[in-house]
Structure formats: C-alpha cells, structure tokens
A and B are shown apart, each in its own frame.
Chain A
Amino acid sequence: MKYFVLILTLFLPFTFTSAQTSLNLGGNSELSIEFDTNYFTPFAEITASVNDYTQTSQTNKIYWKVDGKSVPEFNNQRSVKLNLKDLGEATNIQVFVENANKQTVTAKKTINPIYLDIIVEPQTRTPSFYKGRALPSYGSTVNLTAMINGNINNTDYVYNWYLNDVHLDKGSVVGKYKTSAVLGMDDYNTVTLSISKTTGELLAKRVIEIAPVESELHFYEVNALYGANNIPILNSLNLIGNSAIVRAEPYYLDIKTYNKPQYIEWKVDGVRNPNRNNNPYEVTLARQGGSGKTEVGFHVRNLDNTLQGVEDSFIINY
C-alpha cells in the first residue's frame, strides 16, 4: 500500500499534462492563462489574459515571460498581445502573479500554431466553362471539408460539426473530416467545427459564416460547332442568321433541382413554348419571316422549395 501511495505521489502531477501547466509557488489557489481565441494560426496576433479570480489574496504584481524571456513592457498587465510564430514553432507563455503575502503563483501555456481550413463546396450549378467555385443558395447542400496544416487526419482526431448550433452527424465522430449540410433560409448560416485529440484535449475550434445567395440566370448563345459563347446575352440578342440556340444557365441552383426540375418552361412573348430540344435548358429560336422583336423567358423552380428557382427573360431582335 505504501508503495502505491509513493507511486501515486510521484506520478500524480504528470497526469495533468495538457497545454497549460499551473504551478503554485506558495499561493493557495490555481492560476490560469486565457486567450481571446480557440484557433491559433501561425503569425496571428493573440491576446493572453491572466485569470486569478480564484486567488484568495490581493494581486500586487504581474509579470510575463515569453519563451523563457521576461517581457518588461508586459509587467503588471492583465492582458497582453503577442504574435505567434510559424507552423511548427511553439510559443511558451508564462505568467507570474505575486500576492500581498509576497507569494508567487505561476501558470504556463504552450501554443503550437495550426491551420484549420474549412473548405466549403456548394453543390449548386455552374456551367462547365466557369472557372470559379459555385456559391451556396438558400436551401442548397454544401460539402464541408476540414484540413489541418494542409492535410487530413482521419484516425487521431475527433470532429464535432455544427450548423447553426445543430450538431451534424448526430454527435462527435473520429476522423470525420468531411460532412454535408443543407443550408437554412436565413441570410447567414454558421458552421462551427471543433477538433479534439482522442484524449479530449481541444486542438482547435473555428467558426465560419456562410451567406447564401439567390440563384442567377444568364443566357448564352450556343454555336453548334464552338459551343457556348463566353459572354452572356446582355438584355437583347440580334438574330443574325435564320436561327439561334440559346442556353439558360441557372447559376447556383441546387444541383438536385437542376438535374430534376419540377417546373421548367420557356416562354416566347408570354406564351409557353413546347421546347423539343433534348436539353431542356436550351431553346432553338428560328426566324419565321418578317422582322421585329420578341421577349424570350425562362423559368425553373423546385416547387417544394420555391426559393430554389429562378426566372428571367431577354429580347431577341430579328
């Protein structure tokens, strides 16, 4: 039994191995360092604050050490600002608090900077020639991917994903660096990700905002040989030959709605056009003799989620 007590006495202090270590050099309570963020990126400016509310006697003097060196300008400051170093370079912060009894209490923290990237990939429509990323629209699905320092970790870390405070994946999951979410109808959606080690130690926590947009409709003239024009039809199209193929591109429409639209129609001068084109997003406009101008309209919509839809029109001069 006495051996057990001896072993416990020797090893008990080391069971509190976390980023923070608090040493009591004569005081009678714990001291801690708190930060203004849970996400420490390389070169970031952070604010460290001393938390001595559990101290029973008055604090008379505070001083700080960064990487073992005293920083005189931080003396008697409860909060200090400092810059972190590059990836792979740890910063050690230590605070010393001297109380009225001339006893000194200290707390220490080691910060290893980390990049936690959340890559948002909306599952909405953009045409093949479009070189940008699609934008999320109201009620659309987004894929979310987390990368730590440019890599993925699917074995050692526990992922907690939230969308607007609702836990995705029904709870924390080891190695869940990817997830999906359906955005709400609000102007802002908040995605929160916290990653912990399997020991429970928090590695990083990030919050990002996703602002959905309304779908946009642009019309592009399509050449049978060369494909779609790079420049959309801006208000009107002049019919040069006998016919023109026009493609409607509903940017940022949820891909499920785009692939299986519940309501889709072309209108010529307000009259529904029975489009016989294989591609329902394309219409062939042929000259019937004479000259003039005609309004050509297009409308696509998900009737179960009416915000997932768009309509617009252009004028064709012939």
Chain B
Amino acid sequence: MQKKALIITGVIIILLLISIWIYLLFFGTPKTINEVFTDFSANSGEVVNTENQNQTETSTIDVTQSKLRQLTTKPVAGFNEVYSTTTNIKAMYYAEMGTGHIYSINLETGEEKRLSATTVAGVSSAEISAKGDYVALGSQANDKNSTIIIGKISSDTNEIITKELPNVVDDFSISLSGTDLFYTNKDTNGLSGHSYNFKSGNDKILFTTPFHEATIQWGRESDDTHYLYPKPTYLLEGYLYQVSKGKMSRLPISGHGLTAMANDHIVAYSIGENGLSKNYVYNRQTKTTKTLNTTILPEKCIIAVSTEKLICAWEAGVNLPVEFPDKWYQGTTQYKDSIWDIYGDTPSINLIVDTFEESNRNIDITNLKAGVGNKNLYFINKNDNTLWMYEL
C-alpha cells in the first residue's frame, strides 16, 4: 500500500513539473529584454553626431497607451507643454539633460523631433516658454556656479541663438506669458529676484533678501505675488514671506523644515513637530488653520491660481523619516508616488492615480506641472530623470 502511494505521488509530481515546463515554454518566456533587465540606458550617455546636426531627427513615441505613460528614455532637464493656436496641436517640448538639446513630442501623433542640436555642456535644469519660443538652460559645469544660457528656438533652423546671463543664478523660471525669465542672483548682501525680458533685454529687480538660500514660488507674471522661504531642512526653522508690488512681508507660517505652496486664498505647508512631519492648510481669509493629510513639497505639488485646490504627489501610508525633506533631496530615500487631488477648504484628498499600480515602476515624482487647461499632468521621475505624463 505504501509503495503504491509513493508511485502515485511520484507520478503526480512529474506531471506537475511537466505542466510547469510547458507553461513556461509557451507563456512565461519574456518577450522583450526589458522584462528581464532594468533599463540602464538613461545614464549610459549618448554620442552626439555633429555631422547630422542640420538634419531633423524624428522618431515616434506611443502616446495612445494608458493614461499614465513614459514620454522619454533620455534624462530630461526641463519641459513644458506647448500649445499652438494656429495648428491646434499640443506638443511637449523638453531639453535633454547634459547636452541642452531641445526636442518636441507631438502629443497626438507621438512624433518626436529634435528642434535644437546646439550643445550646452552640463545642463542640469531647463525652462521652456509656453509658446515654445524661448528656452533657459541652467548649466552647472562648474558645480556650484550655475550659469543660465538663454536660447531662442526657431522653426527655421535646428540651432538656438544663445545668450549667457551675466549673473550667477540659483533658481529660475519663465513667466506664464513666456515674455520674462525670473531668476535669483546671490551676492555678498544676500539674494535678489530678477525679471529679465527676453525681447528687450531689460532686467528688473523684483525683490531682495538679506539671506542667500531661498526656495521661491514664482508668480505667473512679474507683477504677481511671489512667495519665498529659506531652503528647508528639518533641523532649522523656516519662515514664509510674500513679495507683492516690490514689498516683502511676513505670513504667519513658520516651523522647522518648512515647505509651502501659497496663493491668495490658502497656504498649504508642512513642518516638523516633535520629530514628525505635520501638514496644515491655512485659510488666509478666515485666518484659521486645519490639518492636512498629505505632505507639501514644492517639487511634488502644484497649486491653483485662484482656488483652494492643489495637486500633490505622495506615497500613501508612508512614514516620513525625521530627517525629511533632507533625505529626499540627498536621494537616500525614494518614494513610489501616487497623485492626489487636495481640496484645501475642506480639507480633503482624493486619489487620482497610484503610479506604481498603474505602471509597475517606481516613480518618484519631481517637477510636477499641469498642461494647458489642466488636461494633462507632466512630471520627471527622480530615479532616472525620465519624463512622464498622466492624462486627467
């Protein structure tokens, strides 16, 4: 009896192994190399073929897949959705990290085109105007000393006409209308915020501060309100200031590790309290403060211009380290982000998308931006600097 049972068990095991082998043979074999190996191409470097610089390089990106999709495999220094009113076509313009080459992706056909082959060494950040006519490239070839190269993008040539700003720049952005470049400049007296007009070349000082290290939330245009606070760190206190019509004033927001997003209605902010990161929303009309259930980090959030609404990226249920946000800036902690709608007046939050569930990729969102009419969200995955979009 015992021998018979042994034979039956053996036969069952053999049949089981054969069926697993057949399954793996026909269904389990990876179809592409990407299913087995991580894509290391992001940082593998690229040889620039100078002989082909006058030829237009095109390729096609699949833009008709799921709502969450990867737009580039190249690391991206900066991007903007550009909307042509004449052709009624939306395109994504982006600047490649390291080279400063400008590309456009037609968001309807997926066609990718290189618009500029002008190489700017060491480009680590970039801003592109909403009309797609100007680009500002931040080059940190000398580590701390960042220079800004301004380029005029033209459809007639695949080169950009460049001009270097004379000042050493710490932070920069382009106005919504695309006419001005906002930037900060450090000198021995502190930090000054400037508005540089692309066409006229006029440079206007928007504000000055006696301290040097500031996180800036630029207004849409130079006459709008700008917000700033000392760069965040968990061990030191930060204070929120606003600059309106050239006058700087203090808002009633402060705390260790302060990070904030503000508009005329609310200030959403995160601070460290008793070793924990706490989040609040301050109503500027009622002067009341309520608790918020998501972390506010300018790199991961956008705030509406005239309502109490925000969109933020954050990993659900994660316990933040005491040293937040320092560890995230170092890169020693990473997150698998979800994107959330936040209603600051309630305040309440609603999930838009869990990026890991949707893509099965670890996406640590930074440089979150909304497209024209808030129909698309765009962001960079901090892990490999690739550009992604989510269709709202």
On A, residues with C-beta under 8 Å from B are 42-43, 86-87, 115, 117-121, 127-136, 143, 145, 147, 149-152, 177-178, 208, 210-211, 213, 216, 218, 220-221, 223-227, 229-232, 234, 240, 251
CA distance A37 to B9 in the complex (A): 82
In the complex, the answer to whether A145 meets B211 with C-beta atoms within 8 Å is: yes
CB B299 to nearest CB in A, in angstroms, measures 7
- Does B122 make an interface contact (CB < 8 A)? yes
**Which residues on the A side are within 8 Å of B210 (C-beta)?**
145, 147, 152, 177-178
In the complex, the answer to whether B143 meets A127 with C-beta atoms within 8 Å is: yes
In the complex, the answer to whether A226 meets B98 with C-beta atoms within 8 Å is: yes
In the complex, the answer to whether B124 meets A227 with C-beta atoms within 8 Å is: yes
- Does B97 make an interface contact (CB < 8 A)? yes
Whether A227 touches B97, Cβ cut-off 8 Å, given contacts A117-B254, A152-B210, is yes
**Which residues on the B side are within 8 Å of A130 (C-beta)?**
329-330
In the complex, the answer to whether B241 meets A150 with C-beta atoms within 8 Å is: yes
- Does B4 make an interface contact (CB < 8 A)? no
CA distance A117 to B230 in the complex (A): 11
Whether A87 touches B230, Cβ cut-off 8 Å, given contacts A128-B143, A131-B215, A133-B236, is no
CB B178 to nearest CB in A, in angstroms, measures 25
In the complex, the answer to whether A121 meets B211 with C-beta atoms within 8 Å is: yes
**Which residues on the B side are within 8 Å of A134 (C-beta)?**
213, 233
CA distance A234 to B140 in the complex (A): 25
Contacting A223 at CB < 8 Å: which of B98, B232, B299? Answer: B98
CB A220 to nearest CB in B, in angstroms, measures 8
**Which residues on the B side are within 8 Å of A227 (C-beta)?**
97-98, 122, 124, 140
On B, residues with C-beta under 8 Å from A are 40, 43-46, 75, 97-99, 122, 124, 140, 143-144, 146, 190, 210-213, 215, 230-233, 235-237, 239, 241, 248-250, 252, 254, 287, 299, 325-326, 329-332, 334, 382-383, 385
In the complex, the answer to whether A132 meets B143 with C-beta atoms within 8 Å is: no
Nearest residue, chain A, Cβ from B299: A131
In the complex, the answer to whether B43 meets A226 with C-beta atoms within 8 Å is: yes
| Interface SS, A side | loop
In the complex, the answer to whether A131 meets B211 with C-beta atoms within 8 Å is: no
Q: A121-B212, A121-B213 are in contact. List 5 more A-B contacts (CB 8 A).
A: A128-B140, A132-B325, A132-B326, A223-B43, A231-B382
In the complex, the answer to whether B239 meets A218 with C-beta atoms within 8 Å is: no
**Which residues on the A side are within 8 Å of B385 (C-beta)?**
226, 230
**Which residues on the B side are within 8 Å of A151 (C-beta)?**
248-249
CA distance A151 to B249 in the complex (A): 7
| Interface SS, B side | loop
**Which residues on the B side are within 8 Å of A119 (C-beta)?**
211, 230, 239
In the complex, the answer to whether A149 meets B249 with C-beta atoms within 8 Å is: yes
CA distance A211 to B44 in the complex (A): 41
Most B Cβ at <10 Å: residue of A131, A149, A223: A131
**Which residues on the A side are within 8 Å of B40 (C-beta)?**
240
Most B Cβ at <10 Å: residue of A43, A121, A229, A230: A230
CB B127 to nearest CB in A, in angstroms, measures 16
**Which residues on the B side are within 8 Å of A221 (C-beta)?**
43
Whether A223 touches B45, Cβ cut-off 8 Å, given contacts A119-B239, A131-B299, A150-B248, is yes
Nearest residue, chain A, Cβ from B248: A150
Whether A231 touches B236, Cβ cut-off 8 Å, given contacts A43-B252, A132-B325, A132-B326, is no
Nearest residue, chain A, Cβ from B330: A218
In the complex, the answer to whether B211 meets A231 with C-beta atoms within 8 Å is: no
In the complex, the answer to whether B235 meets A211 with C-beta atoms within 8 Å is: yes
CB B93 to nearest CB in A, in angstroms, measures 19
Can you spell out 16 A-B residue pairs with CB atoms less than 8 angstroms apart? A43-B252, A117-B237, A133-B213, A134-B213, A135-B235, A135-B236, A145-B211, A147-B239, A152-B210, A220-B331, A223-B43, A223-B44, A224-B45, A226-B98, A230-B382, A231-B382
Nearest residue, chain A, Cβ from B333: A231
**Which residues on the B side are within 8 Å of A149 (C-beta)?**
249-250
